[in-house]
A and B are shown apart, each in its own frame.
Chain A
Amino acid sequence: KQEVTQIPAALSVPEGENLVLNCSFTDSAIYNLQWFRQDPGKGLTSLLLIQSSQREQTSGRLNASLDKSSGRSTLYIAASQPGDSATYLCAVTPTVRGGETSGSRLTFGEGTQLTVNP
């Protein structure tokens, strides 16, 4: 059974810091890994999607890396801003089996709650 763990559970940093959020997963048979952002009481916003064949993806100040063999991913946020305050979740999609539509069920970690202080 796939398990996804995120460290740290919570993080508080001053504005302007560069920071790293960690995600680990127990089963390396993944199709892709995604990082999401969730604001309090809201739905999820996809930030970055990394296919299993890729090593990293970048979007603006965000960079996500993937090391499938070791079961790890990191989300790097450069020059953090108060508007980055949210919970960050990583999720993995299992490998597609054969030609069937396996369904894109995601297994999520419990998230890292980030607070960026002005």
Chain B
Amino acid sequence: ETGVTQSPTHLIKTRGQQVTLRCSSQSGHNTVSWYQQALGQGPQFIFQYYREEENGRGNFPPRFSGLQFPNYSSELNVNALELDDSALYLCASSTGTDQETQYFGPGTRLLVL
């Protein structure tokens, strides 16, 4: 157990809908990163939030957006869902220094029909 929790665990949506995924960071961690992992692939970096500000973004379109709250929990929002958005979405928390290991949550499995 890493202390990072995500909700919901599974989700089914249809194309064009919007979805919000949630992540609760490990206590004391002020940085959260989101990753998308398609079946059989390694995770791909979506973006990172540090003290409520976006701090780096991967190669994902603007319909992927996020928020980090004062308690350092976080949301990932995806608008206009596409079939290729079907994946496991992972969040990871850390203290923000590169020396630290990132602690991953169990993920949210999203299926877009």
Which A residues lie at the B interface, using CB under 8 A? 4, 31-32, 34, 36, 41-46, 49, 51, 89, 91, 93, 96, 101-111
Contact = CB atoms under 8 A, between A and B. Distances in A.
A94 B95 CA distance: 17
Cβ-closest 4 pairs across A and B = A108-B42, A103-B56, A44-B104, A43-B104
A101 B96 contact: yes
Interface residues of B, number: 33
B98 A93 contact: yes
Given A43-B2, A44-B43, A104 B102 contact: yes
B58 interface: yes
Contacts of A31: 98
Contacts of B103: 46
7 contacts: A43-B104, A44-B104, A101-B50, A101-B55, A104-B48, A105-B48, A106-B102
